A = this chain, B = another copy of it.
């Protein structure tokens, strides 16, 4: 067989479910109901992504029996208490399809992209911050040059929403990189402070209250003016641990489930201000919880302590 024929033979072997042999699950998003599995098909790696499909109103208001998801459905009771009951519900497979995305043949990069890392929550006492976190982040932290480029108008100057150049209480407000800059429903902007000596909320003290109040008041006003979103519909918060150690505040539309707004990661600006007012050195004394992924250096450092 010549080389051309060999290539052609290889090319004609297309993916088929019958020839797919499951090997392992790369990751499983239980919230979005999507699973990423790896297997082989004709001896070559294949990724099969299965996702449950969202419901539509049409599945309920159909007039004939065949169009309604609840017709011919059957319930199997799990539990019942008072007016509440939980069931499994078996429905016609034609009305309950999945979405299947196939990547075939898949490369190592695809496999890595869809593989899941474990995530852990740790409690950082003030002592652990000094002995473990601080040395680790000083060694490992991402370069902050891009932040300084922004603050010095060398990059993104045309994107600035508002700025206050005061070296102590000043900041710059910009659309977040993750935002398209247009869709109000997913509004996401970030205030980066001028002061280069505050790494995270851990460093915040009573003397920083004017900075925090300044950011809060001016940014909420600017967001209202520019995007028409009222201050009582804005989520304003810090991340701990942050992705870069130069203090910044996230602002997004309250209804939008932005990434990283979970209680183990996000600290409301209002709560931070209130904590410092109650206890001036709150963030020097507090035990702060944070999460880390398996491959993070900080994770390895904290896991070695626990063991």
Contacts and interface: CB of A to CB of B under 8 A. Distances in A.
A100 B83 CA distance: 14
A30 B84 contact: no
A254 B162 CA distance: 37
Contact of A102 (B61, B69, B85, B103): B85
A114 interface: no
A287 B89 CA distance: 44
Number of this chain's copies in the complex? 2
Interface stretch (A130-138, A164-172, A196-204, A274-282): A274-282
Interface stretch (A2-10, A205-213, A230-238, A241-249): A230-238
Nearest to A303: B232
A304 interface: no
Nearest to A86: B101
Interface string A185-202: 110000000000000000
Interface string A62-79: 000000111001111011
Contact of A94 (B82, B90, B271): B90
A122 B70 CA distance: 39
Given A81-B146, A155-B81, A232-B120, A22 B53 contact: no
A149 interface: yes
A12 interface: no
A129 B50 CA distance: 45
A99 to B, nearest CB: 7
A140 B183 CA distance: 36
Given A28-B55, A60-B25, A87-B99, A78 B232 contact: no
A278 B156 CA distance: 42
User: What's the dominant secondary structure at chain A's contact region?
Assistant: mixed
Given A17-B75, A28-B57, A50-B55, 11 more contacts: A22-B61, A35-B54, A52-B53, A75-B100, A79-B156, A96-B98, A116-B255, A261-B264, A262-B263, A262-B266, A278-B286
21 contacts: A31-B31, A33-B33, A33-B53, A33-B55, A37-B60, A50-B89, A76-B97, A83-B104, A83-B106, A85-B104, A86-B100, A87-B100, A87-B101, A89-B97, A89-B98, A120-B254, A122-B232, A123-B270, A257-B262, A270-B287, A274-B287
The 7 residue pairs across chains A and B that have the minimum distance between CB atoms: A263-B266, A52-B52, A89-B100, A35-B55, A30-B54, A30-B185, A31-B257
Interface of A: 15, 17, 20, 22, 25, 28, 30-35, 37, 48, 50, 52-57, 60-61, 68-70, 73-76, 78-79, 81-94, 96-106, 116, 118-123, 145-146, 149-150, 155-156, 159, 177, 180-181, 183, 185-186, 232-235, 237, 254-258, 261-268, 270-271, 274, 278-279, 282, 285-287, 289, 291, 306
